[in-house]
Amino acid sequence: MRRESIRMNENEVSGSIGIGAMIVFIALILVAAVASAVIIQTGEKLQQNAQQTGDDTREEIGGKVSIITVWVGDQSDCDADVAAQDNDKCITLVFELAAGSEPVDETNVIWTIICTDNAGTGMTTIYGDFATVDDDIESAGSDTRDVDGSAKADTTLSPGEVYMIDLKTETDGGDTPANAECAPVIGEEHTLIISVEGGGTTYETLTYNSVTEGDSVV
């Protein structure tokens, strides 16, 4: 009787240990499952964020205008081909699309120059795009040309190509807006901003140490 009682107690202890071990094992499995789910979810989120960041960066850098040089343009009449307009002043911009860019339509490239007003007491701007003919300053300065000065056959800017354009920095009453002015002035610094719709923005400071046609301002 005594031996049987001892044996039963031993079996009960062994059974209790086995159940406890099973509970601990199941708990470990549940913890591992939760940890795995958290790790997988975090990994997927990081991957999505990285992909989105990569897309945004590629768009920002790829769809961007790289300025090669800017010089003082014609200061007497950069619209000589338009009889109704004269005394317009220009700067000449040489540029290309940034590496990795897709072709961009000139109408999607907007330029703005910020400068002090005539009285020197505030700021004013002049703006346009790279496509429209130069008789409408609200839409553009002169048409974009190939780097050799020849006219372009279309309004598409292609990667790997170098272009030039005259931006009207001062207009007369025949333009819209009338008498807009950011003309080159010795000693002044103007800000040139070029934005590509759906792409990046380029900032450049125009420093006028001279207003002689052909002199560099960047």
What pLDDT does 203 receive?
92
∠ Cα 207 208 210 (to 5°): 145
Instruction: Classify each residue of 25-46 as buried b or exposed e, where b means 16 or more C-beta atoms within 10 Å of its C-beta.
Output: eeeeeeeeeeeeeeeeeeeeee
What pLDDT does 96 receive?
92
What is the pTM (predicted TM-score) of this model?
A: 0.66
CA 121, distance to chain mean position in Å, is 31
pLDDT tens for the chain, 218 residues: list them: 555 555 555 555 555 566 777 777 788 888 888 888 888 888 888 877 766 666 666 665 667 899 999 999 888 777 655 545 556 788 999 999 988 788 888 888 999 999 886 555 678 888 888 876 544 443 334 468 887 777 777 888 888 899 988 888 876 655 555 556 788 888 889 999 999 988 888 999 999 999 888 999 98
What pLDDT does 135 receive?
43
Give strand pairing partners of 70. Answer: 93
What pLDDT does 174 receive?
52
CB 163 within 8 A of CB 149: no
Question: Could you say which DSSP state residue 144 is in?
Answer: P
